[in-house]
Amino acid sequence: MPATLPPGKSIQQRFRYVVTELYLVVVGLVLSLFGLQWQGYRDAHEAKKEFTALQAALHAMADVSAERRPAYAVIVLDEPTPAEWLVALKTARESTDARMAELGAALRDPDCSHCAMLLPTWEQAYDQIALARRELDAMHHHTGTDAQVLEAFGHLSDAIPRLSSIAEIDAVGVIRQNADVQSYLLVARLSGLLREQAGMIVSQFGPAVISRRALTDQEAFDIARTLGKIEQLRLLLLPSVRILPPSLQADYDRLDKVYFGEALIFLDQVRQDAARSGGVSESPLQLAERYGPLIAPINTFRDDAMALAGKTIDESLRQHVVYLIASGIFAAVLTGMLMFLIWRFRERIIQPVAEARRFILAIASGNLSAVLPRKRYSSEVQELFSALIVLKENGTRRLKLEKERKRMIGELRVMAETDALTGLLNRRAFETRTRVLLADKRSHDPVVAVMMIDIDHFKRVNDTYGHDNGDKALVMLANVCRETMRSDDIVARFGGEEFVVLSRVQAAQEGQALAERLRLRLHDEKVLTLDGQTFGFTISIGVAFALRDQGTAIDVEQLLREADALLYRAKQNGRDRVETEVA
């Protein structure tokens, strides 16, 4: 035997390849984990941005609705307009402009992926507000007709559905990213719509109250329709209130008592007074002053719901930041530990094994002068080196033992024909028997079929029932093969859970039917485990065929490769099936 290393990769080269593959797998898993946490953080960040836009839209809706009251006062009051109402109108408009600017900035935020498409709607709402303001500024001190007043306030109100659509789309985006805030956002949006309807109904009473006349049929219809919408919103809020936290339930109880109770009673009384000739005795501003405090619980309920939603989103964002940082630290620590362990394993295991290999090769080649390094290793490796020294000392007895070894090889050659567990032929014996069978000219069967058989999910069987019971499953499969196949068929175990059968048949369909019979037979078989349980298993079979030609030898290795490929296809197609090339 030569003293030099045999051809092929050395153990250190193989170790480097394995380490590289392991490192890439670990890095891939770590990056996948980090990527998942990053995506979670991005979703939470996106939800925060869309929530900001939603909050700005709801605030803008409330401010547009609140702007109607001072604008109405400036129109209906006699000259000179009290300074406090002019200041109130200016303040309301500035607040609305600030809210609209805040909403526009939120929609332009590049971190909000769905917000940019809502900018045209925002611009249309702003245009409606500007148009309404121009019309309202053009009429003052009873100079406008009822129709003109209603049209101007109608343009102001038209901005709110556009803002509401922005809020609705943003709410959907927030819920898609963070479902925990769904109930809060639902009641907040319904409250915003309720606030708009609650403010609109006062404007609908306006023309009749100003003119001291009874409501027209159309005005009475519009007021009834608005009251109907208010009732619908109340009914929509009721189911959601039951799952809200106690603080929001308390807010709703006050809303139910003050607005749905006192405010609606007040509105019903005003509607009755407005239905009589002469109309309502109070002025529009007196009605607004009495009605305004009754709306306040709506704003409180909406704002508290938004505050809880914002708190939930902020908490989710903080958690994802923590998870992201933790995953980064975990990735760094895991990678560092892996590199350290690899280095230690190489120094303590691989390097000594490589040195031991060189020493053994020298001894095997007859070089008894070879020495081992004096470096100190762990006790197990040191014991290995001590054993190698003993091996060196025993080298002189090698010739004596050679004769005994040859005798034992002769005995093992007989045992080598048979698989110890199943009693079937092993691969070497299969190849020998196959050559003899194919060389037999007495058979008139024109087709040779090679079946590659594999137990499905055999690892799961071992993991579930143990290796001893897995061995029993192998023995059962071997017995079923013996019983199902014909006496002149060659059945062998190639290793693990893989078996091979070679048959001579009249046609490929006959071989396929034989494989199907074997597969179906196993459906009725059960393995009795050592603890009294039973379990079954299935097999996948790939069957390859070759036509016997008197002038050409059959390439069994090629048939085995084809059968193995068909077996793989059977596994890919769902297992418990037979795959052949037969149409």
| 151-207 residue pLDDT tens | 666 667 777 777 777 766 666 666 665 566 778 778 888 888 888 788 778 777 777
Average pLDDT over residues 468-482: 93
353 Cβ partners below 8 Å, 6+ apart?
A: 11
Q: What is the 3-state secondary structure (H, E, C) of 86-116?
A: HHHHHHHHHHHHHHHHHHHHHHHCCCCCCCH
pLDDT at 282: 74
| Strands 539-547 vs 578-580: parallel, antiparallel or unpaired | parallel
Considering Cα of 383, then 389, then 393, then 395, what sign does the dihedral take?
positive
- Give the DSSP letter string of 209-227: HHHT-PPPHHHHHHHHHHH
Q: Taking 80 as the threshold, does the pLDDT of residue 578 lie above it?
A: yes
pLDDT at 3: 43
Q: How far is CA 332 from the centre of its chain?
A: 24
582 Cβ partners below 8 Å, 6+ apart?
A: 508, 509, 512, 543, 545
| 238-283 residue pLDDT tens | 888 888 888 888 988 999 899 889 888 888 888 888 888 777 777 7
| 98-137 residue pLDDT tens | 888 887 887 788 877 777 787 888 888 888 888 877 877 7
* Percentage, residues of the chain above pLDDT 70: 82
d(CA 58, CA 64): 10
Domain boundaries, the chain: 19-73+81-329, 379-415, 427-580
The token duo for 457 is 């999910």
**Band of residue 432 on the pLDDT scale cut at 50, 70, 90:** confident
| 205-229 residue pLDDT tens | 777 776 677 888 888 888 889 889 9
CA atoms within 13 A on the CB side of 527: 26
**Secondary-structure percent of the chain, ordered helix, strand, coil, rounded to 5:** 75, 5, 20
| 543-570 residue pLDDT tens | 999 987 766 778 889 999 999 999 999 9
| 382-401 residue pLDDT tens | 666 667 666 666 665 665 67
Q: How far is CA 157 from the centre of its chain?
A: 43
Residues in the chain: 583
d(CA 190, CA 182): 12
The SS3 of residue 173 is helix
Which CATH code, of 1.10.10.10, 3.30.70.270, 3.40.50.2300, 3.40.50.2000, is assigned to 427-580? 3.30.70.270
Contact 507, 544 (CB under 8 A): no
The SS3 of residue 79 is coil
Q: Where are the alpha helices (DSSP H) in 276-397?
A: 284-345, 351-364, 379-393
pLDDT at 392: 66
Average pLDDT over residues 72-85: 67
Beta bridge partners of 452: 500, 542
d(CA 294, CA 290): 8
> Which of 30-44, 265-279, 462-476 shows the lowest mean pLDDT across its residues?
30-44
Average pLDDT over residues 313-324: 77
Q: Taking 70 as the threshold, does the pLDDT of residue 462 lie above it?
A: yes
Q: What are the phi and psi torsion angles at 552 (to 5°)? A: -130, 130
Question: What is the pLDDT of the chain when averaged over all its residues?
Answer: 80
Report which of 516, 564, 526, 538 is spatially closest to residue 460, judged by C-alpha positions.
Answer: 538
Considering Cα of 389, then 394, then 399, then 401, what sign does the dihedral take?
negative
d(CA 381, CA 376): 9
